[in-house]
Chains A and B, each alone.
Chain A
């Protein structure tokens, strides 16, 4: 579940500190246990539960891998391409357009809308398309929620170039000349209700623009449709997350509720689900060169204006893709 980072992602495990980019990206999956402040009523059973949650948070935090871009393994990716191709071509009937809009070389910031719950089929389809088009030799990294990287069995994502979402990791990847894929909407967007499936919603996160400006790299919007049709997403469960203090302990602001196979009612989506075989269509838009388009006269670039522009472009494309679809899931 790649996403753009918040400043709160920074902590010692990732070898960086906060740089004040506090409007960027998704939510950090974990926090150092020291961050957890038990409420004044933490006594008895409540205290016990809070202690257990703190221990769990600590355990998860310890599992978050130290970001090492060198863990990306082109040979491993190459050997996994056939499996991804089968999944993408036969199950999701994936279609990726406009890869030619991505420059042949140099660092680029790909900014996508995110769908499909914790399984994010759009990421799989796009990763296959990108690696097949440019070759596994081209450096390609994705930012992911810390919880995703710390889950047992998902460590292999690091071999695909996935690193924990944080401004420092983003900087590292762009400095290395890589193509970096971020999903600023992160878990907020990925768990949006199904009736908002055709809506781009970054929840106001604009840090990716600051990073693009800092590194002077173009932003390339990547718009996908179909992922949110792989289950019936009912609610982000923000209130539930607050009630269970997940926002304080894991910095998880959502506890999604959906109806999905094989669980039926699926709360949290922590174990994933079997996605419905919805057709996934992805369109890559032309690059946006921020300094040329928004600061040509040397004036300071208005982040809000850029944000509105990116969202408008992506929403227009998503509307056009939605108009092409005749039926949900079938496409």
Chain B
């Protein structure tokens, strides 16, 4: 089953990437995520592994995932190593804003399932889809809020420091 959500954020891809590349921030903006922590020594980049869990229905499902594609600040994809089968992808694209008002289009995709689970697997994937889709959608909304708030905070700090130096 594949679900996706997308959103436009008033920030540059680099500024968005700063958040999605930091495993410690995931629990702050990912809806339904009960765990996202580094598994191993490598915190990010190609080959980094994370243990992640998302509450869906009566269980927290997930497992260890590994980053299989890392193209900063455009794409990051992961595949499951243990737990349920899943593939995920962050897709960040520049949306031709001005230098002062940059914009990014962010898409979060997730494919999941359990190979060999048959009809019950098919049914459970579909029944879980609304929850997962809703989690992705709200995660992006929270990411947007967090990133834009951070931009406002930084630009306010810059203005203050400019005023102070002038």
A95 contacts chain B at the CB level, 8 A cutoff: yes
B166 contacts chain A at the CB level, 8 A cutoff: no
Q: Is the CB of A79 within 8 A of B61?
A: no
Q: Bound state CA distance, A58 and B160, in angstroms?
A: 87
Central interface residue in B57, B58, B61, by most chain A CB within 10 Å: B58
Q: Is the CB of A135 within 8 A of B82?
A: yes
**Interface residues as binary, B40-60 with A (CB distance below 8 Å gives 1, 0 otherwise):** 000000000000010011111
Q: Bound state CA distance, A132 and B64, in angstroms?
A: 12
B156 contacts chain A at the CB level, 8 A cutoff: no
B83 contacts chain A at the CB level, 8 A cutoff: yes
Q: Is the CB of A129 within 8 A of B59?
A: yes
Q: Is the CB of A133 within 8 A of B53?
A: yes
Task: Report how many residues on chain A are interfacial, defined by Cβ distance under 8 Å.
Answer: 25
Q: Give the distance to chain A from B152, nearest Cβ to Cβ, in Å.
A: 35
Interface residues on B, range: 20 to 34
Kindly report which residue of chain B lies nearest to residue A94, judged by CB atoms.
B58
Q: Is the CB of B63 within 8 A of A85?
A: no
Q: Bound state CA distance, A86 and B58, in angstroms?
A: 9
Kindly report which residue of chain B lies nearest to residue A128, judged by CB atoms.
B59
Q: Is the CB of A129 within 8 A of B116?
A: no
A93 with B59, Cβ < 8 A, contacts A82-B121, A82-B124, A133-B53 known: no
Q: Is the CB of B59 within 8 A of A79?
A: no
A203 contacts chain B at the CB level, 8 A cutoff: no
Q: Give the distance to chain B from A330, nearest Cβ to Cβ, in Å.
A: 16
Q: Is the CB of B121 within 8 A of A129?
A: no
Q: Bound state CA distance, A80 and B59, in angstroms?
A: 14
A79 with B114, Cβ < 8 A, contacts A86-B124, A135-B82, A135-B83 known: yes
A88 with B58, Cβ < 8 A, contacts A82-B114, A137-B82 known: yes
Q: Bound state CA distance, A85 and B57, in angstroms?
A: 8
B7 contacts chain A at the CB level, 8 A cutoff: no
The chain B residues found within 8 Å of chain A, CB to CB, are 53, 56-64, 82-84, 114, 116-118, 120-121, 123-125, 127-128
Given contacts A92-B58, A125-B58, 15 further A-B contacts (CB under 8 A): A78-B116, A79-B116, A79-B118, A79-B121, A82-B117, A83-B124, A85-B58, A85-B124, A93-B58, A96-B59, A99-B60, A128-B58, A132-B62, A132-B83, A133-B59
